[in-house]
Amino acid sequence: MKTIVFTSAAVNYLPKVRMLCASIRHHHPEFEIVLALSDELSAQVDLSSEPIDEVLAVGDLEIPDRERWVFFHDIVELSTAIKPFVLKTLLARPNVGRVLYFDPDMVLFSRLDDLLAELDSGDIALTPHQTVPETTNEAIKDNEICSLKHGIFNLGFVGVSATPEGKRFADWWADRVYRYCIADIPNGLFTDQKWIDFAPVFFDGVRILKNPRFNVATWNLTTRTLAGDTGNGFTVDGRPLGFYHFTGFDSGAHRVMSNKNAPGNASAAALVDWYECETRLDSQDPISRIPWRFGAYADGSKIPRAHRRLYRARADLQAAFPHPFDCAKDNSLKRWMELQGPLEHPELLAKKKVNPLNEPLRPGSHDASVSSA
């Protein structure tokens, strides 16, 4: 039975996807590697030489009412929202024993045979953000309280066996994410991640991986000792580093938090310096400048987040404009958002234009029914 590994990203994130997939290929050449695209594959992109065996774009997935559903999400939300649908697709294939997911900003540094053994006896494998209590108030605020907001488990990794329980988990996760994959921390939601807090309660065979060599990141460097260097390899609490999560790297947040949570640790600094060196040309790669297919209306104008939020919330808008990206007709969603939207929702949409006839555009009901899709 084979193991399939996948990651999820838009086309412009392929430089980092390449690093992850190359590290998987190096340490586990027996794995089948799939790229899940929260995008459309551009004719400008040639993946034939990449360390990837297959590409599954969002258009290849069995997602009900796909066009409207895609419009609900920004790029980060969509990249996470498609994960359980890809998982279901891969688990259903013949001769598949397990499926692993890794975020594209991760890198493997050694084999993961001990992790695979956990799935041999279990159905679902998860890595918590923290496995040891913090000891300072500052770290509690930075790390533990942050996990209370974003989720106890980091969904940069998840492993699922092709068992009835594993498939039941994938079905449940897909249903929740289909309806509620949104970054809305005040209302208890953070894309796909917060839902997994329920996993150990709702499902059997959940393996919570507390081995410190898995999913090392800035949020657990306060309680784990990273040692070694790029020449001799890295260890975590004396064990070979399995995989590291370089989250928030491009913004500079990763380096800031690494310095804060592992002050004076030369190995942590060397690891961050190494990744920065390896990714220094990412922004110059032509692929990184390919725009996200779902980031704009059909006329090329950028879709504001408020348009997505309002369309998600109002079932009447969804019914009136079943093709939300289109701009060909005068009565398009974009036109409604620009003319009628500010009148009905001034709290969300700045009033840029006035309807000279003061006539409501379809659907025009201020107290329309609300759907969370």
CATH of the domain at 64: 3.90.550.10
The residue-averaged pLDDT of 49-57 equals: 95
Element housing 57 (H / E): strand 54-57
Task: Determine the pLDDT at residue 281.
Answer: 84
Element housing 175 (H / E): helix 164-180
Whether the per-residue pLDDT at 330 is higher than 90: the answer is: no
Q: Which residues of 268-290 are buried (b: 16+ CB within 10 A; e: fewer)?
A: bbbbbeebeeebeebeeeebeeb
* Residues 209 and 352 grouped into a single domain: no
* Residues 341 and 311 grouped into a single domain: yes
Whether the per-residue pLDDT at 9 is higher than 50: the answer is: yes
The residue-averaged pLDDT of 34-51 equals: 90
Structure tokens at 90: 């891969």
Task: Determine the pLDDT at residue 371.
Answer: 31
Task: Determine the pLDDT at residue 135.
Answer: 94
* Domain that residue 167 falls in: 2-283
105 within domain boundaries: yes
Domain final position from 283, 313, 342: 283
- What is the three-class DSSP state of 337? helix
Whether the per-residue pLDDT at 300 is higher than 90: the answer is: yes
Element housing 116 (H / E): helix 113-121
Determine the number of helices (DSSP H) and then strands (DSSP E) in the chain.
15, 14
36 within domain boundaries: yes
262 within domain boundaries: yes
- What is the three-class DSSP state of 185? helix
Domain tally, the chain: 2
290 within domain boundaries: no
Report residue 282's pLDDT band, with 50, 70 and 90 as the boundaries: confident
pTM, full prediction? 0.91
Task: Determine the pLDDT at residue 351.
Answer: 59
Domain final position from 218, 250, 283: 283
357 within domain boundaries: yes
* Residues 104 and 201 grouped into a single domain: yes
* Residues 214 and 359 grouped into a single domain: no
Percentages of the chain per state (helix, strand, coil), in multiples of 5:
40, 20, 40
Domain final position from 228, 258, 283: 283
- pLDDT for 130-164, tens place per residue? 999 999 999 999 999 999 999 999 999 999 999 99
Whether the per-residue pLDDT at 362 is higher than 70: the answer is: no
289 within domain boundaries: no
